[in-house]
Structure 1
Amino acid sequence: MKRGIILMNLGSPDSTEVKDVRKYLMEFLMDARVIDSPFVFRSMLVGGIIVPFRAPKSAEAYKSIWTKDGSPLIVLTKQLQQALQQVVDEPVEIAMRYGNPTMKAAYDNLLKREPGLEEVIAIPMYPHYAMSSYETAVEHAKDVHAKHNYGFKLTVVKPYYNEENYINALAESIRPYLEQDYDQVLFSYHGVPEAHVKSGDITAKHCLKMYACCEVPSAAHKYCYRHHCFTTTKLVAEKLGIPKEKYTYSFQSRLGRAEWLKPYTAVRFEELPKEGVKKLLVACPAFISDCLETLEEIAEEGKETFLHAGGESFQMIPCLNVHPLWVQTLKNYISDIKSGSEKMVLQDTLETKTI
């Protein structure tokens, strides 16, 4: 079978110019799976309040991390594409949920490189299921595939938050940083509104509605971002032998006034030094590629907040990026699918929002 591979990531503005950042934020925040409000209200909120206020500040933030080759997220995703291409026979392309390169461009490039293409294996760069990340990327890929009536089959890799090879790759990428003296490892995940977690609860009575809900077995865990994050944290800590008292978790990148998953990373940076945590390591497992949320929000702003609050040392651990074990993990997922295994194949999505 003639196959092609697409690595699906979030995206970045085309430049650090305010107009490009504004365009990117409009596409991103107008996604109903990101801000799940009625269209008219969302348009007024995003176009009239959030983007005009946020675009200039975001442009400055992007400037602080921008490289000579462009956005770190795009550059690192391209590097991952090149690394994977060296170990697989199938052509590999990349696509962004927002901005460029688009999903259609990735599909079309694969068709040019592999005439008679029969199957595309899409791999979301999101280990955990969330309406505003994994789900929107997958549904967008499916929508573009259907809209343009492509003749090839679309196969999507399912969330891998607890998959052994991913956990091992993530753990090994963190291990060298544990050789230094540290008080605690903070696993900081991208936050989502509590309402998103509740709306994804297929039982309608479990998530955030009972004590220790993520630890109590439930069918709701299949689509529960919070449970997925807790699971990744626990498995990685166990793999690395980190004592329970030396690691914790938090959620970053809160937007708006709604209640988001807690504890908030920014708040914890202020609190930890007062609790005796002076030497902090921070890992960001929700992100495969380092980006604005890791390089600027954590490594710059977070470090400043922590040190100002009384911390002594702060180290952000890089994301998986192009770690050799991560490249090997992707190759394994592709090999499994090629062999006919359904182990890593997504069977369905929750489709919380129909856009």
Structure 2
Amino acid sequence: MKGVLLVNLGSPDSTSTKDVKKYLGEFLMDKRVIDIPLIWRTLLVKGIILNTRPKKSAAAYKKIWWNEGSPLIVLSNRLHKKVADYSDIPVELAMRYGNPSIKKGIDSLVKQGVDEILLIPLYPQFAMATTETIEVLADEIIKKHHPKIRLTKFPAFYKRTDYIAVLSKSIQKEIDKTKPQHLLFSYHGVPERHIKKSDITKSHCKIDGSCCNTPSTAHKFCYRHQCYETTKLVAKELNLNEGTYSTSFQSRLGRDPWLQPYTSDTIELYAQKGIKNLAIVTPAFVSDCLETLEEIGMEGKESFLENGGEKFVTIPCLNDNDDWAKTLVNWITDWKNIS
């Protein structure tokens, strides 16, 4: 029997400093998130970051926490319920970090009689620190605990026509209401070295402004290319004029070069240049979370207004949008019907 495992990023169990520290420890010790040798990663994460950052992060989580719990978890659960209700095969939800774990999700499917699992990382674009780390951990769990289970991995869906249509429709709804002067597509940032590490050709990715537009097999695993491609396809679907939209990258960590332009700098610059009404969409996420609600919705808005902007609109992620849930079900159904 076939079954499906949806996997999102995860969240602390609560806003307590203790729970945030535990979550950050699991997240930042992942070698595909901070990709430096174990000894240096341990010194950096356990020796420095976990002694300074949890309290600040806990305060940020408190700003966006809902009565029901973490927004990302609540929204993921709502989406999971809709997909499970629409689907005629077992569907479970897991988080890469925190709870419910990927192992728990796989175990639950196996207990229901599933012997073939479709793994769907809830990330439109491929990246080492998102899709790849989910796939690798799932492989390890299957090999160790359920070696007879067959695992199929759903590929990055950043340019699928149905996904672009659903995303565009959700953006259009907000544009119609707020009439922004400019639409900023803000994607989660990654270190530039991650782009080059993911280059299967070992030579194509130069991050020079042209490689992402030059056809290559490297694009299958190039996060930067896939982000720009999502922007391009949505802009086309919405008939946006050149110059009325742009792409940037948020959430950088440390001193190494990350993908640019940086969202924080871009927001400030646009306000200073006279853009009064700015809308921001965050298509690297399918569920609203700390990075969308606090970093963009609060910090970004404050920066924009302080620098001369007047209206700042954050466009919600797809969350538990009915069209999005039905799109996932269609993907599941198509896979289920393959013999």
Indicate which of 167, 175, 191 corresponds to 1:170. Answer: 167
Any idea what the Cα deviations from partners look like across 1:240-285, whole Å, max 9, x if unmatched? 1111110001000000011000000011111001222110000000
2-structure distance, mates of 1:91, 1:203: 38
1-structure distance, mates of 2:285, 2:151: 24
1:312 counterpart = 2:310: yes
Which residue is 1:81 aligned to? 80
Indicate which of 325, 328, 336 corresponds to 2:326. Answer: 328
2-structure distance, mates of 1:165, 1:68: 33
Could you tell me the TM-score, scaled by structure 1's length? 0.93
Deviates more, 1:214-223 or 1:286-295: 214-223
Indicate which of 115, 120, 142 corresponds to 1:118. Answer: 115
AA aligned opposite 1:319: C
Which residue is 1:202 aligned to? 200
1:92 counterpart = 2:97: no
Could you tell me the TM-score, scaled by structure 2's length? 0.97
2-structure distance, mates of 1:69, 1:124: 24
Deviation at 1:237, TM superposition (A): 0.8
Deviation at 1:204, TM superposition (A): 2.1
Any idea what the Cα deviations from partners look like across 1:277-324, whole Å, max 9, x if unmatched? 110000000001000000110001110111111111000000010111
2-structure distance, mates of 1:5, 1:205: 36
Indicate which of 274, 279, 283 corresponds to 1:281. Answer: 279
RMSD: 1.2
Which residue is 1:35 aligned to? 34
1:144 counterpart = 2:125: no
Deviation at 1:51, TM superposition (A): 1.9
Which residue is 2:181 aligned to? 183
1-structure distance, mates of 2:235, 2:151: 35
Classify the secondary structure of the residue corresponding to 1:269: helix
Long gaps (5+) in structure 2: none
2-structure distance, mates of 1:295, 1:211: 30
CA gap of 1:236–1:211, structure 2 versus 1, over 3 A, is closer
AA aligned opposite 2:52: F
% identical equivalent positions: 51
Long gaps (5+) in structure 1: 342-355
Q: Which runs of 4+ in 1 moved over 6 A?
A: none
2-structure distance, mates of 1:222, 1:7: 21
1-structure distance, mates of 2:293, 2:209: 34
